[in-house]
Each structure stands twice: as structure tokens, then as C-alpha cells.
């Protein structure tokens, strides 16, 4: 079948995520495989236009990968009919103005999250895109992890019976930057620059919980700054004004309770950097990035609490690994292919701007819960009518 080109404006490709996951591992990988196959057997090839602020960086990336098109003029790119999709990998503070321009230019839009700094702005661009009738999508990469795809298969099989609870542990130790270089950029720890683990991770937890278990109905969270001072990329010490850990309890539709700890100040003592344990009346599962283990009620041991005797039973050995039974490609690439099919042939793509806005709203609610020390109900989460609070919150309290 013939291959037709699809022009994609890629704004922010000099950043870590824009370059590594979206350009190299997604769009260039799609080009190398000959494009995206459509339902009728034809293929659509992709042609990227690299956009950014630095001519030298863009020229170097283009030369490195043999790409022809790059520019620092976003307005000109949006005005050019050769480019059908606008993709945004900018810092959050720059996202709404750029997306608003892309909506006005009637481009299909695909963006990283958070989609905005406030829920009000996130729901506003969702409504603008809806009114303009343009296709739009937000990255939901965690849903495409092999471990969570296996967990979804287990859920869909009815294995759990009635799901009771979800417990998640995410995080690792991010070095302070003094005696060892930090693994994350310093802006992540400055609230005034859009940093903070609630802003970063709660939008992820929203779509994971929403798509696997049920909509979030309320949240109680405590956001803290465990490491009050860090050292930046130039070797200068700076105050950490953003939260580096968050402890959240989420009430989900259907009565499921979820508890997720997120931290950049925790040392890993688990099999993977993120793990979710799901407990149901008929069975349980533990899923991570790649693996998923299950234990059915018929194979559940019967522990007895006795602190006077050492318990040597191999509890971990009494779980069974869910087999791969599939080929799991890079999740960013898989979702890009799904969105391209959505644009070209109107294939389903449920992860739109409204889904992204619900994630921003949950982050706002989590920060508000932490400030006010109470549970926040999210009855208006889908409509965006809840309190409008910036994700650039005041500095959170420092905890030991």
C-alpha cells in the first residue's frame, strides 16, 4: 500500500522527554518501521518538524538524525498547512499559550502532562479544543507499561472478585547534588519553577486509578519537603521549595480505597521503582514496571501472628508470575501510533484534554488537602468547577 506523509510539529525536542521518548523512541522509530499501519492496510508515514528556542541545538539534533525540518518560529510552523499535528513537550508554564495558538490554527494536538498549571486553565483548553472540533490527546504512558498491561488483563479476567484496595509505592533516592550529582534537574525541587512530586506524579496516579479501578472521588494527601536544601547543576546550593514526597489516600468510585506513597527521598527495597498491590476478595496481585505476580484465594497461606517465634515461611515464593504472552513495545511509541490512527482514521483515543485536566485537578486537590489538612472531595473533577488553585503552591512544610 502507498505511504502518505503526516507532518508533526514537535515543540520542545531539546528537552529530555521530548528528545528521548518522543522523538527518538517514538517518531523516529515509527519512521524506521515504515510508518503506522491503518485499518485498511495502508500506511501513514510521519515527518517531524523540530521546534525550539536554540538554533544550534535544533540544528545539531537534526544533523544527528538526518532530519530536514527545524525552526525557532512556532507561529510560522502553525501557519504552515504541511504540518497537521502539534506536539508539546515544553515546561508546563509555557504549555497553555502554545496549545492555545495550536487550537486557533486548528491543528490536532498531542501533549505531555500536566496540561496546565491550574485546573481552570486545563479545563479551559479542553473546552476550547472541543469547541474547535479538533482531535487532542495527552500522554498516558504508565498505562502502556508491561506490568500494568498484565495487571489490566488480570482485572478484566475477573480474577480479583470484588477489588477492595490498591497500595502503591513509587520513588527512589534522588541525590542532593553535593557529594553525588542529582539524577533529576534542580527545577523539580523549586515550586516557583513548577516543581514538586505532587505536580509530577498525581496526574499519573489519576489516569492509572481512573482507567484500571475507577474515578477518583476524594483525596487526602500530605506533601512534604524532606530535603530542604539541594545543589544545582552549577554546584550552587539552593532552597528546595517544592515537595519531594507525598503520601496520598484516594477514594475511588465503587468503594475502592487506594493509598500511594510517592517519594524522591526513599531508598528502594522492592523489586521495581514502582509497585502496586491490588487486593480483592478472590485474589491479589503485585504489579510493577515489567512484572506482575498473583495469588489466588485457593493458594493463600494462613499466617498466625506470633512475635515469639521466627517466621521462616517463603511468602514471596507463594505468588505466581503472570506470563508475558505478548510483545510490549515502548509505551510512548505505542500511544503515538494510537493517536496517529485517531487523527488519520478516527480510531478511538480516550485520553483527551479532559482526561489530562482531571489529572491537573487531582494534583491541585492533593496540594490543597496538604495545606488544609483535610480530605478534599472531587465531585466536580470532570467539569472543572472546583476551587481554582495554582499548582505553583506556596512552599510546603519541611519534615524531618
Q: Could you read off the pLDDT of 70-116 as tens digits, one per residue?
A: 999 999 999 999 999 999 999 888 999 999 999 999 999 999 999 99
Mean pLDDT of 268-277: 97
Does 395 score more than 60 pLDDT? no
pLDDT band at 194 (very low <50, low <70, confident <90, very high): confident
pLDDT greater at residue 396 or residue 160? 160
Cα gap 149→329, rounded to integer Å: 11
Does 382 score more than 70 pLDDT? no
CATH of domain 3-140+331-352: 3.40.50.720
Provide the CB-side half-sphere exposure for 37 (13 A, CA).
5
DSSP 32-72: HTTSEE-TTS-EEEEEEEEE-S-HHHHHHHHHHHT---EES
The interaxial angle of helices 197-212 and 146-156, nearest 10 deg, is: 30
For the chain, residues classed under CATH 3.30.360.10 are: 143-327+358-377
Does 3 score more than 80 pLDDT? no
Cα gap 40→76, rounded to integer Å: 34
Does 320 score more than 70 pLDDT? yes
Mean pLDDT of 3-28: 92
The interaxial angle of helices 92-104 and 119-132, nearest 10 deg, is: 20
Lowest-confidence pick of 66-70, 133-137, 271-275, 380-384: 380-384
The rounded mean pLDDT for the chain is 93
Mean pLDDT of 317-340: 95
Does 40 score more than 90 pLDDT? yes
Mean pLDDT of 119-134: 97
What pLDDT score does 234 carry?
95
Cα gap 396→241, rounded to integer Å: 7
For the chain, residues classed under CATH 3.40.50.720 are: 3-140+331-352
Going by their DSSP bridges, the two strands 274-280 and 257-263 should be labelled as unpaired
| DSSP code of residue 141 | G
Residue 305 CB partners (closer than 8 Å, separation 6+): none
Cα gap 160→333, rounded to integer Å: 30
Mean pLDDT of 199-227: 97
pLDDT > 90 in the chain, percent: 88
Q: Could you read off the pLDDT of 235-257 as tens digits, one per residue?
A: 999 999 999 999 999 999 999 99
Cβ atoms < 10 Å from Cβ of 230: 22
Residue 259, all three cell numbers: 493509598
Q: Are 223 and 197 in contact (CB under 8 A)?
A: yes
Task: Name the nearest CA neighbour of 249 among 384, 366, 391.
Answer: 366
What pLDDT score does 400 carry?
27
Radius of gyration in angstroms for the set of CA atoms belonging to the chain, rounded to a whole number: 22
Q: Sign of the CA dihedral 186, 188, 192, 196?
A: negative
What pLDDT score does 16 carry?
87
Does 124 score more than 70 pLDDT? yes
CATH architecture of 143-327+358-377: 2-Layer Sandwich (3.30)
Q: How far is CA 88 from CA 115, 251, 329, in A?
A: 9, 32, 22
Does 206 score more than 60 pLDDT? yes
pLDDT band at 4 (very low <50, low <70, confident <90, very high): low
Mean pLDDT of 187-196: 92
What pLDDT score does 108 carry?
98
Q: Are 163 and 280 in contact (CB under 8 A)?
A: yes
Lowest-confidence pick of 110-119, 130-139, 217-226, 305-314: 305-314
The answer to whether the predicted template modeling score (pTM) of the entire model surpasses 0.95 is no
Cα gap 235→227, rounded to integer Å: 16
What pLDDT score does 398 carry?
32
Residue 33 CB partners (closer than 8 Å, separation 6+): none
Residue 202 CB partners (closer than 8 Å, separation 6+): 221, 246, 248, 262, 359, 362, 363, 366
What pLDDT score does 379 carry?
73
Amino acid at each position: 500500500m502507498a505511504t502518505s506523509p503526516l507532518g508533526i510539529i514537535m515543540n520542545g525536542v531539546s528537552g529530555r522527554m521530548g528528545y528521548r521518548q518522543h522523538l527518538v523512541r517514538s517518531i523516529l522509530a515509527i519512521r524506521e518501521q515504515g510508518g503506522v499501519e491503518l485499518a485498511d492496510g495502508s500506511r501513514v508515514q510521519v515527518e517531524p518538524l523540530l521546534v525550539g528556542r536554540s538554533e544550534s541545538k535544533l540544528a545539531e539534533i537534526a544533523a544527528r538524525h538526518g532530519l530536514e525540518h527545524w525552526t525557532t518560529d512556532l507561529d510560522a510552523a502553525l501557519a504552515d498547512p504541511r504540518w497537521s499535528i502539534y506536539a508539546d513537550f515544553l515546561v508546563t508554564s509555557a504549555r497553555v499559550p502554545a496549545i492555545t495558538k495550536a487550537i486557533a490554527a486548528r491543528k490536532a494536538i498531542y501533549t505531555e502532562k500536566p496540561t496546565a498549571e491550574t485546573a481552570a486553565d486545563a479545563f479551559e483548553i479542553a473546552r476550547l479544543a472541543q469547541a474547535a472540533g479538533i482531535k487532542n490527546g495527552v500522554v498516558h504512558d504508565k498505562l502502556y507499561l508491561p506490568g500494568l498491561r498484565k495487571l489490566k488483563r488480570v482485572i478484566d479476567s475477573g480474577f480479583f472478585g470484588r477489588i477492595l484496595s490498591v497500595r502503591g509505592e513509587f520513588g527512589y533516592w534522588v541525590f542532593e547534588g553535593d557529594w553525588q550529582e542529582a539524577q533529576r534537574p534542580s527545577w523539580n525541587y523549586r515550586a516557583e519553577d513548577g516543581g514538586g512530586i505532587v505536580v509530577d506524579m498525581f496526574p499519573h496516579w489519576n489516569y492509572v486509578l481512573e482507567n484500571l479501578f475507577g474515578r477518583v472521588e476524594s483525596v487526602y494527601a500530605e506533601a512534604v519537603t524532606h530535603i530542604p536544601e539541594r545543589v544545582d547543576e552549577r554546584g550552587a546550593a539552593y532552597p528546595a521549595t517544592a515537595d519531594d514526597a507525598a503520601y496520598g489516600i484516594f477514594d475511588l468510585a465503587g468503594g475502592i480505597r487506594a493509598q500511594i506513597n510517592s517519594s524522591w527521598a526513599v531508598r528502594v527495597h522492592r523489586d521495581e521503582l514502582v509497585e502496586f498491590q491490588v487486593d480483592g476478595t478472590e485474589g491479589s496481585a503485585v504489579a510493577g514496571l515489567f512484572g506482575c505476580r498473583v495469588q489466588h484465594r485457593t493458594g493463600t497461606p494462613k499466617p498466625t501472628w506470633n512475635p515469639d517465634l521466627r517466621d521462616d515461611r517463603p511468602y514471596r515464593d507463594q505468588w505466581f508470575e503472570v506470563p508475558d504472552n505478548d510483545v510490549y513495545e515502548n509505551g510512548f511509541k505505542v500511544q503515538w501510533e494510537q493517536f496517529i490512527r485517531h487523527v488519520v482514521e478516527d480510531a478511538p483515543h480516550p485520553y483527551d484534554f479532559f482526561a489530562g485536566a482531571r489529572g491537573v485537578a487531582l494534583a491541585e486537590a492533593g496540594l490543597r488537602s496538604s495545606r488544609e489538612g483535610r480530605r478534599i472531595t472531587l465531585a466536580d473533577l470532570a467539569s472543572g468547577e472546583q476551587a481554582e488553585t495554582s499548582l505553583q503552591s506556596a512552599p510546603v512544610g519541611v519534615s524531618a
